[in-house]
Structure 1
Amino acid sequence: MTASPNDDATVTPPAATDTSVVDPAPRPHATAEEVEAARKDTKLAQVLYHDWEAETYDDKWSISYDERCIDYARGRFDAVAGDQPLPYERALELGCGTGFFLLNLMQGGVAKTGSVTDLSPGMVKVALRNAESLGLPVDGRVADAETIPYEDNTFDLVVGHAVLHHIPDVEKSLREVLRVLKPGGRFVFAGEPTTVGNFYARWLGRATWEATTRVTKLPFLADWRRPQEELDESSRAAALEAVVDIHTFDPTDLENMAKSAGADQVHAATEEFAAALLGWPVRTFEAAVPPEKLGWGWGRFAFGGWKTLSWVDEKVLRHVVPRGFFYNVMITGVKPGN
């Protein structure tokens, strides 16, 4: 059973052929009481947190559907699954969020048609809206990643970005992924936090938030401070974030988990070490100050700095730094068969 955004109800993801069931509506604001209840119910927390974030998520994480993010998504795919015949006929994004990964992969020629699923009704709504605005053939359902509401052997490709660490039983979900894949079909998951990377990223984020919110209390920096109610809401969202981020991964352990689920040709890769040391303070600072204060020059600095340090990571540091020290881990595997 999946946690519902309703206070006293649960919802089971319907079968893909059941058109009589209407997905639950988004709940964009959680009360203090709901947040407290969600501390004891991780799936309720997933719904509340991601519904809360859905309408602003793309802005918060500088997500776009243009060449910049198409190249990023395609780069993550190619890093672990390069040299594959493209495009795949039908792809599924698990834990789609706003559709960032699948929609940009489709624009990058990786798949022809797509389906999106997420436990959060708000995220599915935004993902489908984004797909429609891009003219992409995508359908979607509110669904639990541990019980994917599609028939066996449906998809040629399953993808996800920053989703596995939200799922209580990752191996069960990977078994579901293999079930809905056709024989020979591939999965690619990217953007998952490593255990070491998560430690320093969280520390940097907390330190940046504390420093920014303290400094902007000074009278001469008052116009750099977000309204207190926005900061309070961000703090409540952060409290839920601590509940929804369930796992971190050692790359080798994640490979073993995928193999145990039944996958062949399993391979994990990591990225972002120096880039993460810049990226986390930058993103936290952006969340703590009014967006109008950060103009084109800031965006150029943030993206340019990330690209430069990513190049350093790829060309230099990955040869000398253990892969478990990088922030992001990506993994791919194939369903046994033809």
Structure 2
Amino acid sequence: MSAPDPAPNPHATPEQVAAARHDRKLANVLYHDWEAGTYDEKWSISYDERCITYAADRFRHAAGDSGWPYERALELGSGTGFFLLNLMQAGVAARGSVTDLSPGMVQAALRNAEHLGLDVDGRVADAERIPYDDETFDLVVGHAVLHHIPDVELALREVLRVLKPGGRFVFAGEPTRVGDWYARRLGALTWKAVTTVTRLPPLQGWRRPQEELDESSRAAALEAVVDIHVFDPAALEATARRAGARDARVVTEELTAAMLGWPVRTFEAAVPPGKLGWGWAMFAYRSWLGLSWLDANVLSRVVPRAWYYNALVTGTKA
């Protein structure tokens, strides 16, 4: 019988943060436990038509729409369940299992699954040692997870081990080397600008309490530790092939959309919750949609795939 999952630790102390700087997996646990309660709000995650469509489109962009529905799917680094739960609602998979290093994230994902009435179980798990038997799953997915895993090739070998023959994996939302370079700079500039101007008396109502900003800064310090990799698309394909994947390929997306998205998300994180309202949300979402269309239908013809922000990798088990 396996040991019970550990309890979440949502408020890391400065001493714990200092220790985590030398232990990437501990840093992942502390950072994502800290984020679990507000993650959906921070990243504008929902489980309605907007994010169902988004998740299904990401899956379709990487792997097409043949083979649906997969009977049983596993998500690595599930966070609050955004990718798998929305894929299940889209009809991609019938049953699901969520895993994450963070106990807080697993609990949040299971709460979301229960609220949605989805057939999902969950375990705290290390992607380099997936705690499931060989040939258990028809599909393995992940969103923004590979760049947190120290040994990506080992994790992909584990993915292929737990897949049934002919099963598929799809990982989306992975930062490219070039995309990470401009996204981080745009985010840092936005954070500095917002937290500076909101010190002015007329704008102090737009400033989060200092203790929240300080906690965000501690989380940002951990984020620099937990974000281990950025990817070159060709190199990521080669890693998947070395792990044993058949038909491995990488596609990319979001160029101008990412250049808008990162400042928008940073601005939203720097001001009090609820301050911006529905009008802002619709502006941000529609702007992102328009720029995503431009990236996919116009710029992709002339811009190298390595310049785009998001990489998506897929492959199958022989």
- Decide: shared fold, TM above 0.5: yes
Number of the residue aligned with 2:300: 318
What letter corresponds to residue 164 of structure 1 in structure 2?
L
Q: What's the TM-score once normalised by structure 1's chain length? A: 0.94
Q: Does residue 1:212 correspond to 2:194, yes or no?
A: yes
Distance 1:317 1:55 in 2: 37
Q: Does residue 1:145 correspond to 2:145, yes or no?
A: no
Give the alignment partner of residue 266 of structure 1, picking from 241, 248, 251.
248
Distance 1:240 1:49 in 2: 6
Give the alignment partner of residue 105 of structure 2, picking from 123, 135, 138.
123
Please give the secondary structure, in 2, of the residue aligned with 1:293.
coil
What letter corresponds to residue 192 of structure 2 in structure 1?
E
Number of the residue aligned with 1:294: 276
Give the alignment partner of residue 182 of structure 1, picking from 157, 164, 175.
164
Number of the residue aligned with 2:226: 244
Please give the secondary structure, in 1, of the residue aligned with 2:72.
strand
Q: Does residue 1:28 correspond to 2:10, yes or no?
A: yes
1:204-254: per-residue Cα shift (whole Å, max 9, x none)?
000000000000000110101110000000000000000000000000000
Distance 1:85 1:231 in 2: 46
What letter corresponds to residue 38 of structure 1 in structure 2?
A
State the 1:83 CA deviation: 3.5
Number of the residue aligned with 1:167: 149
Please give the secondary structure, in 2, of the residue aligned with 1:55.
coil
State the 1:267 CA deviation: 1.1
Q: Does residue 1:333 correspond to 2:305, yes or no?
A: no
Number of the residue aligned with 2:216: 234
Q: Any stretches of 5+ residues in structure 1 without a counterpart?
A: 1-17
Distance 1:107 1:253 in 2: 32
Distance 1:321 1:212 in 2: 31
Give the alignment partner of residue 63 of structure 2, picking from 81, 100, 118.
81
What letter corresponds to residue 59 of structure 2 in structure 1?
F
Please give the secondary structure, in 1, of the residue aligned with 2:134.
coil
Number of the residue aligned with 2:20: 38
Root mean square deviation, CA, Å? 0.6
Distance 2:239 2:313 in 1: 11
Q: What's the TM-score once normalised by structure 2's chain length? A: 0.99
Give the alignment partner of residue 74 of structure 2, picking from 67, 92, 97.
92
Distance 1:98 1:80 in 2: 22
What letter corresponds to residue 208 of structure 1 in structure 2?
T
Q: Does residue 1:201 correspond to 2:183, yes or no?
A: yes
Fraction of identical pairs, as percent: 74
What letter corresponds to residue 316 of structure 2 in structure 1?
V
State the 1:99 CA deviation: 0.3
Please give the secondary structure, in 1, of the residue aligned with 2:79.
coil
Over 6 Å off, 4+ runs: none
State the 1:196 CA deviation: 0.3
State the 1:292 CA deviation: 2.4
What letter corresponds to residue 321 of structure 1 in structure 2?
V
What letter corresponds to residue 24 of structure 1 in structure 2?
P
Please give the secondary structure, in 1, of the residue aligned with 2:141.
strand
Number of the residue aligned with 2:30: 48
Give the alignment partner of residue 283 of structure 1, picking from 257, 265, 289.
265
State the 1:97 CA deviation: 0.3
State the 1:291 CA deviation: 1.8
Distance 1:206 1:61 in 2: 17
Please give the secondary structure, in 2, of the residue aligned with 1:171.
helix
Distance 1:266 1:32 in 2: 42
Q: Does residue 1:225 correspond to 2:198, yes or no?
A: no
Number of the residue aligned with 1:70: 52
State the 1:299 CA deviation: 0.3
Q: Any stretches of 5+ residues in structure 2 without a counterpart?
A: none
Please give the secondary structure, in 1, of the residue aligned with 2:235.
helix
